[in-house]
Amino acid sequence: MINFATVYNVFIRDFHKQKKRITLTLLALGWGTISIMLLLGFGEGLHTQLSINQKGMGDEISILWGGQTTIPFKGLGKGRHIHLFKEDPAYLKKRIPELRYIAGEYHRWGAAVKYGDKILSEHINGIAPEFEMMRAHIPMMGGRMINELDMQLKRRVAFLGDGFKERLFGDEDPIGKQIFINGMPFMVIGVMQEKMQMSSYSGSDEDKVSIPATTFQTVFGDRYLDNIVYQPWDVDNMKSVERQVYEAMGVRYKFDPNDERALQIWDTAEGAREFNNMLTGINIFLGFIGSLTLLIAGVGVANIMYVSIKERTREIGIKMAVGARRSYILFQFLIEALLITFFGGLGGMSISYILTEAFKRIPIESEVLDFMGRPTISLEIGLIVVSILGIMGIISGLFPAMKAASVNPVESLRHE
């Protein structure tokens, strides 16, 4: 009964008759679609980029420092300093099966690092092989990270941050070269892959020189660990692991496990979780703004349909006189509205796609892009926009179409 070719022909005829109005409506629709797609795509890019940046320091890890007691415990006064010792990570790992990785860390700022004639004052970091997984210390091709054997044998090997390598070696390949740290010779075994790190607790990893924690302890003679880094198997257990750390350490160093200040723990995943919520908020906000733009376009579609129906009441009357059911008239106008929405939406989506692809190909490296990311259009965004457009097309077409279907044929045919 509904002949799509006829409806399409009528649409084309209408297009010629009201070129200007339809073109404007198509533009509004296209613009609405572009803005919602780019806003959502921008949100998506931001999300991706921030997760990358977040992973720079490490994903789903907690950092543990010593502290000072504030509650008297078993006859011991308050104000005692709690220090971390190199045996603590193994102790905690044994007690808390939920822990996937745990390792201690030393820091020394301002050590002299020398290669050839060049001397730089640097941050020396005593770390463990677990840092490759926990803290994204990924070696570049041709080199390696500190391993278990380096730890056992307390080897004098060094893993360089990529930024530091650049400053000390320039373009030279550092692997296998000898450097001197406070006069002691170390062999360079690897350079860290470049990464984006937005948060830190001890400076940027790219500027550090890392050596095995065991070597660090022998060479510098530190009594205490500066901090411990750990990661649970399941990030959802972060809080319960934290509890268990307080309890186990409380037993070991005799403090009240409820004494929050006895240890300091930074749950980085908590930040990430909050961050994700914030990002979702931003995305909803951006989507909302985009939808508003699209809504205005929808009003435009409804308006053009109303005008078109007013001009075509006679046509509607004629069709009814020769046997059109009201449902046919309804569908005819609904389909016309959907066709306009379809073409406008399709145009807008294509342009958005081209724009984001172009954006991806912009070769410039900029801090803004590093922070914001580049807008990306995912299948998800496409589906969201298509459904919004579909719903909008139906709504903005339905009311005018209902009006069209309620035209009184006698009235519409009576006047010349």
Partner 1 sequence: MIDLCKVTKTYITGTVEFKALKDIDLQIDRGEFVAIVGPSGSGKSTLMNLLGCLDVPTSGEYRLEGHSVNKLTSNQLADIRNTKIGFVFQAFNLLPYATSYENIEVPLLFAKVSAKKRRDRILELLALVGLADKLNNKPTELSGGEMQRVAIARALANDPDIILADEPTGNLDSKSGTAIIEMFHQMWKSGKTIILITHDMKLADQTQRIIRLKDGAIDGNGNLA
Interaction site with partner 1 (CB under 8 A)? 1, 3, 6, 9-10, 13, 17, 314-315, 317-328, 409-410, 413-414, 416
Identify whether the C-beta of residue 101 lies closer than 8 Å to the C-beta of residue 228: no
What does the chain come to in residues? 416
- Give 14 or 44: the residue with its C-beta nearer to partner 1: 14
With CA atoms as reference, report the closest residue to 275 among 57, 107, 121, 94.
Answer: 57
User: CA angle at residue 118 from 178 to 201, to 5 degrees?
Assistant: 80
- Give 26 or 320: the residue with its C-beta nearer to partner 1: 320
Least separation in angstroms between residue 315's CB and partner 1 is: 6
- Give 390 or 409: the residue with its C-beta nearer to partner 1: 409
Identify whether the C-beta of residue 96 lies closer than 8 Å to the C-beta of residue 82: no
- Give 13 or 118: the residue with its C-beta nearer to partner 1: 13
Least separation in angstroms between residue 331's CB and partner 1 is: 12
- Give 223 or 415: the residue with its C-beta nearer to partner 1: 415
- Give 164 or 333: the residue with its C-beta nearer to partner 1: 333
Please count the CA atoms within 13 angstroms of the CA of 301 that sit on its side-chain side: 37
The 3-state secondary structure of 346-357, one letter per residue: HHHHHHHHHHHH
- Give 188 or 320: the residue with its C-beta nearer to partner 1: 320
Least separation in angstroms between residue 3's CB and partner 1 is: 5
Structure tokens at 57: 């320091």
Structure tokens at 85: 């010792």
Least separation in angstroms between residue 4's CB and partner 1 is: 11
Quickly count: other Cβ atoms within 10 Å of residue 72's Cβ: 14
Write down the H helix ranges in 182-267. 213-220, 238-253
Least separation in angstroms between residue 27's CB and partner 1 is: 24
Least separation in angstroms between residue 325's CB and partner 1 is: 4
Least separation in angstroms between residue 10's CB and partner 1 is: 7
- Give 167 or 326: the residue with its C-beta nearer to partner 1: 326
User: CA angle at residue 181 from 176 to 182, to 5 degrees?
Assistant: 155
Least separation in angstroms between residue 13's CB and partner 1 is: 4
Write down the H helix ranges in 137-254. 148-152, 162-169, 213-220, 238-253
With CA atoms as reference, report the closest residue to 7 among 414, 399, 397.
Answer: 397
Write down the residue that tokens 């092989």 correspond to. Answer: 129
Identify whether the C-beta of residue 248 lies closer than 8 Å to the C-beta of residue 90: no
Burial class (CB in 10 A: 0-12, 13-18, 19+), 318: middle
- Give 7 or 102: the residue with its C-beta nearer to partner 1: 7
- Give 17 or 19: the residue with its C-beta nearer to partner 1: 17
Least separation in angstroms between residue 305's CB and partner 1 is: 17
Cα dihedral sign for 290, 291, 295, 297? positive
Structure tokens at 166: 């650049």
Quickly count: other Cβ atoms within 10 Å of residue 345's Cβ: 26
Least separation in angstroms between residue 1's CB and partner 1 is: 6
